[in-house]
């Protein structure tokens, strides 16, 4: 029986580090587990320029614990008015690692997002030309589309046509939640990949709705039915280089989650690796964890793998009911549960 696992240090290819007091409270958790992370730009106001991005990166660096070797990889929030020249310059100067497509109104702080991908055609062309990754929140927003169908409809109405128009563009279909998305990514060429969150590997929609409404199991895209969860588990643990780690850790204060209109987002950063590893163990795929966590992401982005390592031990760890993030309570994913592996410092 494996009781100790040492792998190259993982990266998180999708995280919300927030800003201000919350950033001060949560940055340490991601920095402890990961070498690098793709940092989402959905602040208020969003990070839409090189200047704003450099300033945000500096605030992240200032929020890291002393001596941290963590590197934030920054992203540009696309809007209907994004200037292709700004995206190109930000990428070539090393400020933007990727650009992020939020369909307007799809999720937290996406009101300034893109109303129609036709409006960013020149931006996408530029990105394809320079080899810059497009990160996509893949849900349509039309009122008449059922929330459980929004990802599958996005594939058909937006993503497939977009890739037809820009066949060379590197696209990360983020936080996928459906068998439809798994099948689409598997059938697509090598320039299309996906990230998978810990929550979508652990829970289906019952976790959110059975026995009472559970706001801390609510995120977007919402968890789907069990067959989709099983498809995601198979995809993530199969060893395919098209699927890699992206936590989508999205902290909101306990108050804003436990509300008449609760915010979407699950805060999983403090125990992300322990959470993923539980899945890989249950799927008898411990030997494939390093690929998912530390190798496939850098390969897709064209970045070097990390030289340093981390070690996880087969030892119980109990996730606290709440975490104090710089004066605000945040409820973590797996609150109050015990996980079978522990990241060794």
Ligand X SMILES: NC(=O)N[C@@H](CC(=O)O)C(=O)O
What residue ranges bind Zn ion (CB under 5 A)?
A: 107, 137, 248
Asked if 196 and 159 count as a contact pair (C-beta separation under 8 A), the reply is no
Which residues contribute to the annotated binding site? 14, 16-18, 42, 100, 137, 175, 220, 248, 252, 264
Q: Residue 152: in which H helix or E strand, if any?
A: helix 150-154
245 strand-pairing partners = 196
Does 224 help bind ligand X (rule: CB under 6 A)? no
What is the number of the residue whose Cβ is closest to Zn ion? 137
Residue 197 or 306: the one with the smaller Cβ distance to Zn ion is: 197
- Cis amide bond preceding 221, omega within 30: yes
Residue 42 or 179: the one with the smaller Cβ distance to ligand X is: 42
Residue 242 or 257: the one with the smaller Cβ distance to ligand X is: 257
- Helices 84-92 and 121-130: crossing angle in degrees, nearest 10, is 20
Asked if 180 and 150 count as a contact pair (C-beta separation under 8 A), the reply is no
Name the token pair of 17. Answer: 């580090």
Catalytic residue among 11, 12, 180, 248: 248
Chain positions 302 to 321 lying near ligand X, rule: CB under 6 A, are: none
Name the token pair of 16. Answer: 């919300």
Asked if 198 and 275 count as a contact pair (C-beta separation under 8 A), the reply is yes
Does 42 help bind ligand X (rule: CB under 6 A)? yes
From the list ligand X, Zn ion, none, partner contacted by residue 5 (C-beta under 5 to 8 A by kind): none
Does 74 help bind ligand X (rule: CB under 6 A)? no
Dist CA 120 CA 292 (whole Å): 31
Shortest Cβ 316–ligand X spacing (Å): 28
Phi and psi at residue 327, in whole multiples of 5°?
95, -10
Report the Cα 22 to chain-centroid distance in Å: 18
Does 16 help bind ligand X (rule: CB under 6 A)? yes
Shortest Cβ 339–ligand X spacing (Å): 21
Dist CA 313 CA 282 (whole Å): 15
Specify whether 80 is catalytic. Answer: no
Asked if 151 and 185 count as a contact pair (C-beta separation under 8 A), the reply is no
Dist CA 296 CA 239 (whole Å): 9
Residue 107 or 237: the one with the smaller Cβ distance to Zn ion is: 107
Does 272 help bind ligand X (rule: CB under 6 A)? no
Give 112's DSSP letter: T
The contact mask relative to ligand X for 115-144 (x = CB under 6 A, - = no) is ----------------------x-------
Among 25, 90, 112, 265, binds ligand X (CB under 6 A): 265
From the list Zn ion, ligand X, none, partner contacted by residue 342 (C-beta under 5 to 8 A by kind): none
Shortest Cβ 176–Zn ion spacing (Å): 11
Among 79, 107, 253, 268, binds ligand X (CB under 6 A): 107
The alpha carbons of the chain give a radius of gyration, in whole angstroms, of 19
Is residue 205 classed as helix, strand or coil in its secondary structure? coil
Which residues contribute to the annotated binding site for substrate? 16-18, 42, 137, 220, 252, 264
Residue 137 or 202: the one with the smaller Cβ distance to ligand X is: 137
- Catalytic residues, by residue number, are 248
Site for ligand X, rule CB under 6 A: 16, 42, 107-108, 137, 219-220, 248, 250, 264-265
């Amino acid at each position: 029986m494996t009781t100790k696992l040492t792998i190259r240090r993982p990266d998180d290819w999708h995280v919300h580090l927030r800003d201000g007091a919350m950033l001060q409270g949560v940055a340490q958790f991601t920095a402890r587990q990961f070498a690098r992370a793709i940092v989402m730009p959905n602040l208020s106001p969003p990070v839409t320029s090189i200047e704003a991005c450099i300033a945000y990166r500096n605030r992240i660096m200032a929020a890291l614990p002393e001596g941290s070797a963590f590197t934030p990889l920054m992203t540009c929030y696309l809007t209907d008015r994004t200037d292709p020249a700004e995206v190109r310059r930000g990428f070539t100067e090393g400020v933007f690692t990727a650009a992020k497509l939020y369909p307007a109104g799809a999720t937290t702080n996406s009101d300034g997002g893109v109303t129609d991908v036709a409006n960013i055609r020149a931006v996408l062309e530029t990105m394809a030309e320079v080899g810059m990754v497009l990160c996509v929140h893949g849900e349509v927003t039309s009122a008449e589309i059922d929330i459980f169908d929004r990802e599958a409809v996005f594939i058909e109405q937006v993503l497939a046509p977009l890739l037809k128009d820009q066949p060379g563009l590197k696209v990360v279909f983020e936080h996928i939640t459906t068998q439809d998305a798994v099948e689409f990514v598997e059938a697509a060429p090598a320039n299309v990949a996906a990230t998978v969150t810990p929550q979508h590997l652990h829970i289906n929609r019952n976790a959110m709705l059975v026995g009472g409404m559970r706001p801390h199991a609510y995120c977007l895209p919402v968890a789907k039915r069990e067959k989709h969860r099983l498809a995601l588990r198979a995809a993530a643990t199969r060893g395919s280089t098209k699927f890699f780690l992206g936590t989508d850790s999205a902290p909101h204060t306990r108050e804003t989650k436990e509300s008449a209109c609760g915010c979407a987002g699950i805060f999983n950063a403090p125990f992300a690796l322990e959470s993923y590893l539980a899945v890989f163990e249950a799927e008898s795929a411990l030997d494939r964890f390093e690929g998912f966590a530390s190798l496939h992401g850098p390969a897709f982005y064209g970045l070097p793998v990390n030289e340093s390592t981390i070690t996880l031990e087969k030892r119980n760890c109990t996730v606290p009911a709440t975490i104090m993030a710089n004066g605000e309570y945040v409820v973590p994913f797996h609150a109050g549960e015990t996980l079978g592996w522990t990241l060794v410092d």
